[in-house]
Amino acid sequence: MPSIGMGTACASSPVPPPTEVIVAALLDAVEAGYRHFDTAAVYRTEEEVGRAVAEAVEKGLVGSRDEFFITSKVWCADLHVDSVVPALTNTLRRLGMEYVDLYLIHWPVSMKKSPLGFAKEDIVEFDMRGTWAAMEDCFRLGLCKSIGVSNYGPAKLHQLLQHATIPPAVNQVEMNTGWQQKELVKLCREKGIQVCAWSPLGGNGASWGSFSVMHSPVLKEIADAKGKSVAQVALRWIYEQGAIPIVKSFNKDRMRQNLDIFDWELTQDEVSRIEQRIPQQRGFSGEMFVSETGPYKSVDELWDQPFNLSS
C-alpha cells in the first residue's frame, strides 16, 4: 500500500468539476508519481478513476493496472448483508476493473436502500457482524485484495475484532495535526490495523473544515525553519505516526509538493511542539448520522466517546 494516496471526493463541492477535468487531474497525479487513488460509491468519481487508470496504461505512464492501488467504499444504503457484494460488483463495473485493492465500509451506519443520497429518517440499525461477513465474502470471491473500515472508533473496532474471521486491514479516519487521534492510532497499531488519514490538512475547503492546520503558527514556524511548506510539515507528521495521508489537490505544483515528504524528517523537538501546542478539535462532527431511528443518539455514541483503552 503506497505511503500516500490521492483522494477524489468531489460530490460535496459547491460546483463539482466536470468529468474531463477530474480525469485530467488524475492523469497529472499519475505523472507526478501517485499510484494510490481513493474513491467511493458516494463520491461518484469511480468512473473517472477507472478512465484515468486505463488512459495511464494506454499512454505508457505505467505498465499495467497492477501498478495502482485502488480503494473504494460501500455507502450506507448498501450496508446490508445482501447488498455489499452487489455494491462492489457495481463499483467494479464503474471502474472497469476486475478487483479493487482495498474495499472499505464507509461509515458504521446503515440506511434504507435508496439512490445515493442522505436523509436522517432513512437511518436504520447497523448489523456490524452480518455486514462484515459480507465484506469477507467480497475478499473470498476475489473482488478485492483486502477489506477494511472507515470512521470506526475504538469500541467498534473491539466489537468487530471479536467476530471477524478476516480482521480489517485498514481504518480510514479523520486525522491531522489538529485532530491527532492518539488513542485510536495507538489501538490500531496494537491490533495491526493500518491507519489512513482523511482530511490530513484540516479539510479547509469543505463546509465543515477549518484552517487549524494550514494557518497553524506552530506548523508555520517549523516549516519556515526547514524550508518546507506548512502542508509538507503536516503530512510528514502523519507519515511519521505510521499513518497514510489521503491528500486531494488538482493543482500540479501542490500535487508534487505533497509527495515531497519522504527524504527528510522532523526533529523530536518539532514533533513535541506539534503534539503539545496545537489545539485539538474534530473537524467533521458526524451529527448527520445521529438519529432517533438509528443506533446513535449522540455524536459521542457515533465516535465511541468517552473510551478507555483499558476497557
Query: Nearest Cα to 261, choosing from 225, 224, 223?
Result: 223
Amino acid (one-letter) located at 113: K
| 276 three-state secondary structure | helix
C-alpha distance from residue 91 to each of 2, 48, 54, 104, 296 (Å): 21, 12, 15, 12, 28
CA separation for the pair 204, 278 (Å, rounded) = 16
* Annotated binding residue 36: no
239 is catalytic: no
CA separation for the pair 221, 133 (Å, rounded) = 48
Query: Nearest Cα to 238, choosing from 262, 212, 222, 217?
Result: 262
CA separation for the pair 60, 64 (Å, rounded) = 9
**Among 43, 103, 152, 239, the one annotated catalytic:** 43
Is residue 233 a contact partner of residue 227, using CB atoms and an 8 Å limit? no
Is residue 65 a contact partner of residue 92, using CB atoms and an 8 Å limit? no
Backbone angles phi, psi at 203, to 5 degrees: 60, 35
Name the grid cell of 172: 480510514
In the block, cell 494510490 appears at: 36
Name the grid cell of 44: 461518484
CA separation for the pair 310, 245 (Å, rounded) = 28
CA separation for the pair 227, 295 (Å, rounded) = 48
Q: Which residues are annotated as a binding site for substrate?
A: 106
Catalytic residues: 43
Q: Which residues are annotated as a binding site?
A: 106
